[in-house]
């Protein structure tokens, strides 16, 4: 299973809303909400790149593999 750690990153960086993150990254609230809730079926490389740039992090800080 792939775990998305967007909620942790937002908390650590004191990002309080999807609106603020959308404004800074140009990632739609709908996409951010799906990632946050772990409901997405995939993630676009451009989305990962924007999140890594914004949070100044690595992909492994956003996604984590957890054995089922």
Question: pLDDT for 32-61, tens place per residue?
Answer: 999 999 888 899 999 999 999 999 999 999
Alpha helices in 1-68 (DSSP H): 6-12, 18-25, 29-37, 45-55, 59-62
**CATH number, domain at 11?**
1.10.260.40
% of the chain surpassing 70 pLDDT: 100
User: Tokens 């079926």 appear where?
Assistant: 41
Is 68's pLDDT higher than 90? no
Tokens linked to 19 = 């609106």
Neighbours of 40 (CB within 10 A): 15
What domain range is 52 assigned to? 2-65
Give first-to-last CA distance, the chain, whole Å. 6
* Arithmetic mean of pLDDT over the chain: 95
User: For the chain, what is the domain count?
Assistant: 1
């Amino acid at each position: 299973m792939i775990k998305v750690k967007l909620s942790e990153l937002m908390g650590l960086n004191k990002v309080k809303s999807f609106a603020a993150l959308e404004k800074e990254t140009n990632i739609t609230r709908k996409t951010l909400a799906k990632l946050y809730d772990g409901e997405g079926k995939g993630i676009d490389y451009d989305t990962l790149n924007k999140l890594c740039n914004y949070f100044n992090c690595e992909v492994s800080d956003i996604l984590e593999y957890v054995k089922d």
